[in-house]
Amino acid sequence: MLTPSPQAILFDLDGTLVDTAPDLAAATNALRAHHGLAPLSFQDIRGQVSNGGSALVTLALGIQSGSDEHDEARQYLLDAYEQAVAVHSKLFAPLDEWLTVWQKEARQWGIVTNKPRRYTLPLLDALSLSPGALLCADDLSVKKPAPEPLWEAAKRLGVSPEKCWYIGDHVRDIQAAKAAGMTAVAVGYGYISEEDDYQSWPADLWFATCDELVAALHGHRHT
């Protein structure tokens, strides 16, 4: 691989590092049930998870953002999610094994997510994850695809942006990484809708599976 070996690895959270879709799907279907509707299939919900709570409300109820009804539904969904933020969520395998080795070697890593801190911290606590840098949606005045959260994460790790990999499952992750001057890594195993093609994103590296990503990360461990 011609891509520079990273001194630090930064991850998007949902759909990249942690499989949170089962718990978000449960919250989405709780909203449906609250409105007397039958549950949606897990696969239908999974493809929208990376687009956030508003997209899940639109999927669940057909209500577009910008109305009081939508805002109330979104709050209901988020409240349901907050009550069960880490029931079924877990690290994608084999990233869990890789991360254990990476941390034992005292290597740098962090998370930059558009998930609010209110939901992120309980999730990380439940999974016993302690990133060296954590940037959430409400930490700065801007969020991805703006590069500032990625720059701040690199700064907190004491690593220059060009020596970081940023890994994500949404085009905004890749846009943020490129704008930040980091190696942009797109993964195809995350929460990608059927009409989206992750291989069309302007990344530096693309991995279809988590196993392929981890093999590449292991290949850079000792360089």
**Omega of the bond prior to 145 within 30 degrees of 0, cis?**
yes
DSSP 8-38: EEEE-TBTTTEE-HHHHHHHHHHHHHHTT-P
Among 52, 73, 50, which residue's Cα sits nearest to residue 61?
73
Catalytic (active-site) positions: 12, 14
Strands 183-187 and 164-168: parallel
State the sign of the Cα–Cα–Cα–Cα dihedral 11, 220, 171, 191: negative
Q: How far is it, in rounded angstroms, from Cα 144 to Cα 142? A: 7
